[in-house]
Amino acid sequence: MARVLVAMSGGVDSSVTAVLLREAGHEVVGVTLLLRDDVPPETEMAASAQEVCARLGVPHHVIPCQQLFRQVVVDDFIRAYAQGTTPNPCLVCNRDIKFRLLTEYAPRFHCDTIATGHYARIVSLSGPEGEGRGPSAGLSPLPPPPAPQTGYALLRGADRAKDQSYVLAMLQQPDLARIRFPLGALTKATVREVARRYQLDVAERPESQDICFIPDRDYRRFLAATAPWIFRPGPIRDQEGREIGQHRGLPGYTVGQRKGLGIASSRPLFVSEIDPVHNALVVGPLEATLRREMLIEQVSFVSGQWPDAPFPCLVQVRAHAPPFEAVVTPLEGRRATVAFAAPQRAITPDRGPPSTIPRLWGCGPGGWVYRWRDRMMSHLDPALVLLLLITTACATGAHVLWGAPGCNCRCSGWRQRWGACWPMSLVGPARSISRCPPVSRCSKRYLRRGW
């Protein structure tokens, strides 16, 4: 039997994780990571975890890491919103705090493996299966895995409503080899029943919130209180670039948002784009929020092997969203394009890693949404135009269009000669050349500035 280091938050999931491992005959060591600065809740969490460990007769340790959590997770959360993107703090925490520290401290506590209360499964593609790694009773049998049949596969949790494989897509083969997810084959109801059977006080504890450092779930209030300087009022523009209102600060809005825009219109308007370069909010009808393709970066394949050809799969772009059919095309530089079979609504850059689920087998790569195709405004200094033309337009297939800030030009760069409305912007879809304003209204204005 193994000696397992169990991450214990004081909740029902991590407590039952320790119970199941102890029940299976493993030697358990509990550890609580103190993450937040709000001392009373953190103290209660550690006390609850210590109580469970005492009942099980296992040791318990507390690791203070508030400063690291603040620098790595909270500051990144604020910085992402300041840059006009939507962060996923849970994934950053899993990748850079929890699993990193658990891996670092396991040898110090003489532990062979680590375990958490995540609802996901790990199966070995060769050799015997361990607890929390393979399918158990009540789950449909897995089809034969694709080649190569070595290493480990990350599977979705049996309880689809609680599945957390989305925020675990960054795990690699060495991680999967030493991690256990005992709850992966269980439902939440079963977990609570186990807690009641062991008479644990946490059995009826409410679900934890998605963002642990924002207890009331009001991220706008949190940002306004901790980083008010990132809220800069600016213009609200329609799809043609006309200013139709004023926003109160880009961090207060998300792509796809309809309510709270403060705009009078004869038809519903939705946020279709957040433009941090010009501090502008772009709105339009519902169809303006639909995207057929997106580019993802920092792609991480669970298998550790980079495919050499496009492959069909199911793609999940939000933690609690259903997966959709798509084709993923790997690119150089840890990037890939994702082409959906049907347009998807409100894809937000930097929201988190779109977990891909190859048909019939496990979870594939994850990566951060860098940009979506069909419309992307990003006006650049002309000195960078040629470089962007080579690295972005050619490599990623983004539409190359022209238009100066405040200009309504939407002309295709492949059909328009140099010198006509620049600097370059990535916008789209391409519209008629006849809509270009005269050169005197656009590019000459920039040429006079010495560009």
Q: Which two tokens stand for residue 358?
A: 């190859």
Q: Biggest alpha carbon distance in the chain?
A: 80
Cβ proximity of 348 and 162 under 8 Å:
no
Which of 327, 334, 326, 338 lies closest to 295 in space, CA to CA?
Answer: 338
> Cα–Cα distance between 422 and 380 in angstroms, integer?
9
Cβ proximity of 34 and 27 under 8 Å:
no
> Cα–Cα distance between 285 and 267 in angstroms, integer?
8
Residues taking part in catalysis: 93, 212
Q: Is 177 helix (H, G, I), strand (E, B) or coil?
A: helix
> Cα–Cα distance between 41 and 14 in angstroms, integer?
17
Query: DSSP assignment of 337-388, as one string?
Result: EEEEEEEEE---TTS---EEEETTS----EEEEEEESS-------GGGHHHH
List the beta strands (DSSP E) in 255-359. Answer: 270-275, 280-284, 290-300, 311-316, 324-331, 335-345, 355-358
> Cα–Cα distance between 364 and 300 in angstroms, integer?
9
> Cα–Cα distance between 130 and 121 in angstroms, integer?
11
Angle, to 10 degrees, between the axis of helix 12-23 and the axis of helix 39-56? 20
Give the 3-state DSSP-derived string for 54-66, with helices as H, strands as E and coil as C: HHHCCCEEEEECH
